[in-house]
Amino acid sequence: MSTPPPEPDEPYGQAPPPPSYGQTPPPSYGQTPPGAPYQHAGPPQPGAYATGPLMTDSDQRMWATLAHLSPILFGFLGPLVIYLLMKDKGHFVRNQSLEALNFQITLTIVMIVSVILWLIIIGIVITIVAGVAALVLMIMAAIAANRGEEYRYPLTLRLVN
Q: What percent of the chain has pLDDT over 90?
A: 63
Q: What pTM value is reported for the model?
A: 0.66
pLDDT at 1: 60
- Please report whether residue 137 resides in a domain: yes
pLDDT band at 90 (very low <50, low <70, confident <90, very high): very high
**CA atoms of 86 and 101, how far apart (whole Å):** 13
51: how many CB neighbours lie within 10 A of its CB? 14
The helix (H) or strand (E) run that includes residue 133 is helix 122-147
Checking if the pLDDT of 16 tops 70, the result is no
- Please report whether residue 44 resides in a domain: no
- Please report whether residue 6 resides in a domain: no
Let me know: does 107 contact 130? Beta carbons within 8 Å: yes
Checking if the pLDDT of 132 tops 70, the result is yes
Most confident of 13-17, 27-31, 40-44, 113-117: 113-117
- Please report whether residue 1 resides in a domain: no
- Please report whether residue 116 resides in a domain: yes
- Please report whether residue 157 resides in a domain: no
**CA atoms of 90 and 79, how far apart (whole Å):** 15
pLDDT band at 3 (very low <50, low <70, confident <90, very high): confident
Query: What average pLDDT score do residues 82-95 get?
Result: 94
pLDDT at 91: 93
63 φ, ψ to 5°? Answer: -70, -35
| Residue 137 lies in domain | 57-147
**CA atoms of 77 and 135, how far apart (whole Å):** 16
pLDDT band at 54 (very low <50, low <70, confident <90, very high): confident
Number of domains observed in the structure of the chain? 1
- Please report whether residue 80 resides in a domain: yes
Checking if the pLDDT of 47 tops 50, the result is no
